[in-house]
Amino acid sequence: MIDKYKKYNPEFKAIICNNIKNFRKEKGMRLMDLAEILDISPEYLKRIESPNDEKKNCSLSLLYKISIILDKKLDDFLIDNRNS
């Protein structure tokens, strides 16, 4: 039997958080600017970008909006670039 979850990375949330922050910086956007475009508070976006905040999750619809603004594909946010 094939293990359905053998590629599951339990750190996927930290990877997404890190990528949101890095892609935003690559685009030259301040956190406040992205938050304003998304119509969310800067504090909320800061918590989303923080991999250590276990209580704050990013919805799929918000991640989709972020991907459009930052000109990234959704799957780009799942690539682990933390050690490169």
pTM for the whole structure: 0.87
Q: For the chain of 84 residues, list the mean pLDDT of each consecutive stretch of 10.
A: 76 93 97 98 95 84 98 95 75
Question: Is 12-77 a CATH 1.10.260.40 domain?
Answer: yes
Tell me, what's the pLDDT at 9? 84
Q: What are the structural domain ranges in the chain? A: 12-77
Task: Confirm if 9 and 80 have CB atoms less than 8 A apart.
Answer: yes
Tell me, what's the pLDDT at 1? 47
Please give the Cα distance from 21 to 65 (Å, whole number): 14
Task: Confirm if 77 and 71 have CB atoms less than 8 A apart.
Answer: no
Amino acid in the structure at residue 75? D
Please give the Cα distance from 18 to 23 (Å, whole number): 9
The contacts of residue 62 (CB under 8 Å, 6+ apart) are 38, 40, 48
